[in-house]
Amino acid sequence: MVEVSIYSRSNCHLCDVALEVLEQMQSEFSFTINKKLIDGNLELEEKYGESVPVILINNEPHDFFRVNPERFRSVMSKL
């Protein structure tokens, strides 16, 4: 199964929107969503900082800040 990870922060509006888009895309594609908060994790805060939300597909970087549905569909259709 394809795993989509979303690195986010608490109280992050863009993160909430990205998660909503991903959840809607689950009606088209079979994948799990793994939400990871970077709050308080120094390593993740240093790596992703202000770039959240960060979306990875099978641990490969895909999008930052927003989910582009067309790009997401293109990648998912090839998996």
Domain ranges of the chain: 2-77
| Alpha-carbon dihedral 25, 36, 49, 30, rounded to 10 degrees | -20
Pick the CATH number of 2-77 from 3.30.540.10, 3.90.1150.10, 3.30.830.10, 3.40.30.10: 3.40.30.10
Q: What is the pLDDT of residue 50?
A: 86
Residue type, 20: E
- Residue 64, strand partner residues: 54
pLDDT in tens, 3-20: 999 999 999 999 999 999
| pLDDT tens digits, 15-74 | 999 999 999 999 999 999 999 999 999 999 999 988 999 999 999 999 999 999 999 999
Confirm whether pTM is higher than 0.85: yes
